[in-house]
Structure 1
């Protein structure tokens, strides 16, 4: 049969996406000529199809509908929108998204329950997803990959294939702990949330690294993790106070705020009787009396960077290496040195 009469091989949008390592939406946009996508990416898709001598099976089909929505996935135990980190991070995402014509949707997940995210995916509610926290064995990751949905994580993950933006939580925790030790404090208690979150793992690592750096043997009885309720916080505080610490280092601003109020209720004075510090800074820590020493991160910039990384990924750009942003340790009255009596 003459070559010109041979039937043309068809290639699916999914095959092209897998071969080029991009999303199906990116391929669809490249073929339809619609949507926000760079000319280099369009040419890359067309060149690949021409090189394999095929005709895209999707040309006669409608192009994937763009929603101009992004979804921010929030774990249910971080679903309190009054939390400063979440509010500021969301603000950074909204600003960056609006600058490029996108709106932000919210989606809550609880453990293995991803029903709300599955519903949004099945209904094609969004063009990309931002995971607001990273946890071990996150079911959202597999779900998003199965749907070929572009996504970015805020926080460290152990999967280098996941585009991610984070602060160096371990280095920040180590710096804060080191400064407390240099103030002469030796019995520093550490209180953190669930170790299933990478952020809490990293903060604990920084604490232990600082102790090792200064040759101080850690006291396991001064470390309490997995604090996720008022009852657990009170139990943890009771336990570490029995060990007579000279400082309590809290994993986040909400925990530090609640511990401060509990110490006041017990008539334990900060900093006279005990020092108090936090590994995350916000108006919750800065607004107390005394103001609490804390590690300051720019959550607005973090959210904006994650959003721009996602939008670039959706436009067909290669995934960037993990972006690590800076921090600042702010020492306040809660850890100040007292005059000798």
Structure 2
């Protein structure tokens, strides 16, 4: 077999050594010029800059950033299955918010998706790579290995969602208040057997929304019936399964902890020949774009998902700028959006 052809000169990247040789100085002097060291003479600087221009040399941006102690890269960790990432409209909106704020702040985003078993095998390698200035963790469950590894690493990080540890910085919405207002709305409409389909209760969002549901009933002197509580996992199919579990207990309204689960619940209700909201009213959570186009349009709790992503980046950049400050916390408000799925006579 013959020798491989040599690459053309246009495909060969010039090196730091070649710049040093052409300009007649050392590699370290070339590096000092590239990094704008004020102690380099103007004559030497001009010789190096001329050699850089003649060779069309482009310094390795990553290497320069590492030498300076920062990379301008933020990691966004979403500890969930890849299929969940693309089936749940929450995550694309969150990613959009993170990316928009990173772009505005001249940062890049490295997206890291992985289930817990994958995280356990790879977390330390990623954290020790030196490629990330900080990390945003979205939708972590209780006891997630990413969180404990981050705490041990000392790398600055912010969570999207309330953590159990008060020393961790986070951004979230007031999930207890949002759920409470949704259930109180149902009670004001005259519904009394109000059920709920929760998210996975090892997540803070699902736990807090269940707390809001309980608080609303108790504020009106209504005992909480555990038969009217069914756990889902924020997916449409889990809404279907949970609604089938609830129907024998005769609810007249259901508060769902996500719009996707509400969509599944509505399929079951209509499949049983029941009317929404005359027979069973439905409230969701998130105010996803599809909610207004459901039949009937879905009453839901709007949370500012894109803004949560933006604010998480801002909190992280503030931590990077002021590493000795205490934990940063931001809780954003929710808004109840009333549509025909809960108002009798409007469907």
TM-score greater than 0.5 by the shorter chain: yes
TM superposition shift of 1:238? 1.9
User: Paired residue for 2:175?
Assistant: 169
User: Paired residue for 2:332?
Assistant: 325
Which of 74, 79, 83 is the aligned partner of 1:70?
74
Post-superposition Cα deviations, 1:3-33, rounded to whole Å, max 9, x if no partner, equal: xxxxxxxxxxxxxxxxxxxxxxxxxxxxx99
User: Paired residue for 1:302?
Assistant: 308
Q: Does residue 1:98 correspond to 2:126, yes or no?
A: no
TM superposition shift of 1:246? 0.5
Which of 315, 318, 324 is the aligned partner of 2:321?
315
Q: Does residue 1:107 correspond to 2:112, yes or no?
A: yes
Which of 182, 188, 194 is the aligned partner of 1:182?
188
Post-superposition Cα deviations, 1:170-191, rounded to whole Å, max 9, x if no partner, equal: 0110111111111110001101
Provide the C-alpha distance between the structure 1 equivalents of 2:97 and 2:237, rounded to a whole number of angstroms: 33
Q: CA RMSD in A?
A: 2.4
Q: Does residue 1:85 correspond to 2:90, yes or no?
A: yes
In the alignment, is the contact (CA less than 8 A) between 1:203 and 1:279 conserved in 2? no
TM superposition shift of 1:262? 3.0
User: Paired residue for 1:204?
Assistant: 210
Which of 318, 342, 346 is the aligned partner of 1:335?
342
Residue ranges of structure 1 left out of the alignment (5+ in a row):
1-31, 35-61
Post-superposition Cα deviations, 1:190-233, rounded to whole Å, max 9, x if no partner, equal: 01121000100000000000000000011110101144677754
User: Paired residue for 1:55?
Assistant: none
TM superposition shift of 1:270? 1.3
**Higher RCO, 1 or 2 (CA under 8 Å, sep at least 6)?**
1
Q: Does residue 1:127 correspond to 2:133, yes or no?
A: yes
In the alignment, is the contact (CA less than 8 A) between 2:237 and 2:261 conserved in 1? no
TM superposition shift of 1:125? 2.9
Q: Does residue 1:146 correspond to 2:181, yes or no?
A: no
Provide the C-alpha distance between the structure 1 equivalents of 2:326 and 2:103, rounded to a whole number of angstroms: 21
In the alignment, is the contact (CA less than 8 A) between 1:97 and 1:307 conserved in 2? yes
Provide the C-alpha distance between the structure 2 equivalents of 1:77 and 1:268, rounded to a whole number of angstroms: 34
In the alignment, is the contact (CA less than 8 A) between 1:134 and 1:156 conserved in 2? no
State the structure with more CA Rg. Answer: 2
In the alignment, is the contact (CA less than 8 A) between 2:298 and 2:341 conserved in 1? yes
What aligned pairs does 1:256-271 form with structure 2 within 5 A after superposition? 256-271=262-277
Provide the C-alpha distance between the structure 2 equivalents of 1:309 and 1:162, rounded to a whole number of angstroms: 11
Distance 1:218 1:276, change over 3 A: same
Post-superposition Cα deviations, 1:244-265, rounded to whole Å, max 9, x if no partner, equal: 1111111111111222223333
Quick check: 183-192 or 101-110, which moved more?
A: 101-110
TM-score when normalising by structure 1: 0.76
Post-superposition Cα deviations, 1:123-166, rounded to whole Å, max 9, x if no partner, equal: 33321100111421221112112222110011111211101111
TM-score when normalising by structure 2: 0.75
Distance 1:233 1:252, change over 3 A: closer
